[in-house]
Structure 1
Amino acid sequence: MAKKVRVLIADDESIIRMGLRVMLRDLGYEVAGTARDGVEALDMARQTKPDLAILDIKMPRMDGLEAAEAISRERPIPIIILTAFSDREYVERAKSTAVHAYLIKPVKEEKLVPTIELARAHFLEQQTLAQEVQTLEEALQARELLEQAKRLLMEKFNIGETDAFQRIHRQARDSRRSMRSVAQEIINRHG
């Protein structure tokens, strides 16, 4: 059986929290916790480690967008903003935060599942892209180190680029280390 998606609910209106709790349970989701404001939502997210959060945009102490940012900084998860306001200012603020979807009150059950699943899909895509960017940045950095190490070897031993590359490759293979590690060692020693 698949693991249930754990959802954190934050809204300053108890009737909304209760309604969402019932809807989510009926739809097969697990409610990780409920909060009355953004500060409670942040604390609850720390304690319960939900898979997704539904946060009302207007709450006391800390609004939903501030809570979304704080939660995402600590432990990124998909975030859905819930609001009775379709005000342009809120939409613009939501676009520049860690929000993955937007639901207008009153929430209809038939819109809840698609919104949750789209938010999860967008979040996963965002995480995958971030990982790809990190991998590419690391590869570029390794390539730059390798180029720098080759130049140092070429100058020090008066050899060509191919020979310098082969020395680094052979040393990496013989010592069972990455070429990046060997290149860094050459730079530290001869740079």
Structure 2
Amino acid sequence: MSKKLNVLICEDDYLVSQGLKYSVESLGHDAIAIAKNGKEAVELALEKLPDLIIMDINMPIMNGLVALEKINKYIDIPCIILTAYHKDSLIKKASENGALYYLIKPITDYDLNAAINIVMARYSEFENLKLELNQTKEKLETRKYVEIAKGLLMDKYGLKEQEAMIKIQKLSRDKNLKMVDISKQIIESLKNKKNSGTNLEGDS
């Protein structure tokens, strides 16, 4: 892991939290804050916007899983969950609440470093996947509206498909708008049989 991370440590045991702080900093990252309970964890996460959260499950006031769930309602931050023992139900719940990895205490620097590398790699993969999905969704939406607009232009003005497409592209350039937005304007204008600001009679 070459990137220096801002890490929020959420651990109520003072000695453990200080040990985690030392480990995080010895690995080349910044421990920007320490939360001593779940409520503080939520508040500090939203205030500091860390790159990574290390969260103990057994936290006072609000346990770590509830805190993580609340955090993820507002922001998406990769998280490593800490637990004193392995329990499948807790691990499953942690995963459902957004944790990408878990460590069982006591934790060595080697374990923590490996966990950080794995979590950040997984998070990067998820972010890239979300970006690809959003881009695919945008392309599908554009195609859908462009096809409808083309059909309406062909019916209204007796254009061939290529001519209708050229008209949409020209309007997109002239108006400095995305093709999906121009297509929506064309659809609205022609369906209502009135011009809504788009010059559909312009040169093709």
TM-score over 0.5 for the alignment? yes
- Consecutive unaligned residues of structure 1, counting only runs of 5 or more, are none
1:93-132 equivalences under 5 Å are: 93-132=93-132
What residue is the counterpart of 1:8 in the other structure?
8
- Structure 2 equivalent of residue 166 of structure 1: 166
User: CA shift at 1:112, angstroms?
Assistant: 0.7
Give the whole-Å Cα distance in 2 for the aligned partners of 1:185 and 1:123.
Answer: 38
The TM-score normalised by the length of structure 1 is: 0.92
1:31 corresponds in structure 2 to 31
1:3 is displaced (CA, Å) by 6.2
The whole-number CA distance in structure 2 between the counterparts of 1:27 and 1:58 is 25
Correspondence for 2:188: 188
Match of 2:133 in 1: 133
Residue ranges of structure 2 left out of the alignment (5+ in a row): 192-204
- 1:151 is aligned to 151
User: What is the aligned residue count?
Assistant: 190
1:21 aligns to what? 21
Separation in 2, partners of 1:176, 1:157: 23
Answer yes or no: is 1:66 the counterpart of 2:70: no
Structure 1 residue 11, shift from structure 2 partner = 1.5
TM-score (norm 2): 0.86
SS at match of 1:150: helix
Distance 1:72 1:127 in 2: 15
- What percent of counterpart residues are identical? 35
- Within 2, Cα distance between the matches of 1:31 and 1:67? 19
> How far 1:174 sits from its partner (Å)?
3.5
- Stretch moving more, 111-120 or 57-66: 57-66
After superposition, the CA RMSD in angstroms is 1.6
Q: Which moved more, 1:26-35 or 1:174-183?
A: 174-183
One-letter amino acid of the structure 1 residue matched with residue 13 of structure 2: E
Task: Find the residue that maps to 2:98 and give its secondary structure.
Answer: coil
Deviation at 1:12, TM superposition (A): 2.2
Comparing 63-72 with 167-176, greater Cα deviation is found at 167-176
Alignment correspondent of 1:43: 43
SS in 2 for 1:34: strand
3-state secondary structure, aligned to 1:74: coil
